[in-house]
A = this chain, B = another copy of it.
Amino acid sequence: MGAVEKRTKTFRAGPVRIRVTTDDAAARPKERLTRERIVDAAMDLMAEKGYDGVSMRSLARALDTGQASLYAHVANKEELDQLVIDRICSELDVPEPDPENWAEQLKQVLRDCLELYRAHPGTARAAMGMIPTQEGGLRIAEGMLAICIRGGVSPQAAAWFCDIAALFVCAVAYEEQIWTQRMVDGAGHDDLHEFHEDVDGQLMAAFGQLPADRFPFVTGYARELTAGDGDERLEFGLDLLVSGLEAASERYRDR
């Protein structure tokens, strides 16, 4: 069946070295470390423990190796983060541009982005401030740019929109993940939705009880300020950005 594998074991006693070669009696005891395996483990760990749960030490522990071993395959933690983000980006697929539907297509891609961040807790923090220069991220940028341009958006507006929209979604996801992390740490709740309602309730009470003479609007509109979950707020943001793009695109036609 499988190819004949060879294993060698080396011992040393002073200058003397002994090598034993076996014909795959007991298969390779440890799989060799690769970038792939490291990124895989990092993603598992991040999904389980969040961004701060992924340290070079915990990652090495999860891979049953030493910390220093990781640095043979990854320059530093920043590069690791980039690799993780890029891997995640490659999970998202962007649709073929449909010029009739560009606005809705854009919104959908951005919704999918948030969903992706949510599926991998902790990633938003890693993605902030990262310029897509690798395969995965570039694919998304290319797709969004295509949708805009083919939809008739002026090039400069399209380019800046992609930048800003990605930043916005990332920021929303980051904020959300800060709060879920806070919930995990606090451990007072099991359900995220319940937790958010609780925070909103406390916040609304706090806003409502401010001195009404100095904060008339905050107290008066406490309900609106604390209304809506993450999805509703994202949807509002997308509405703003896309409506804004429709309104502003032509103003940037002449660069």
* Residues of A participating in the B interface, judged by any CB pair closer than 8 Å: 128-129, 131, 133, 138, 141-142, 145-146, 149, 155-164, 167-168, 170-172, 174-175, 178-179, 203, 206, 210, 214-218, 221, 224-225, 227-228, 233, 236-237, 239-248, 251-252, 255
Contact = CB atoms under 8 A, between A and B. Distances in A.
- Copy number in the complex reads 2
Contacts of A133: 203, 206
Nearest to A160: B236
A173 to B, nearest CB: 11
A169 to B, nearest CB: 10
A240 B236 contact: no
A163 B227 CA distance: 11
A128 B173 CA distance: 11
B236 A157 contact: yes
Contacts of A233: 160, 163-164
Nearest to A170: B171
A156 B241 contact: no
Contacts of A237: 160, 164
Contact of A243 (B131, B167, B225, B248): B248
A159 to B, nearest CB: 4
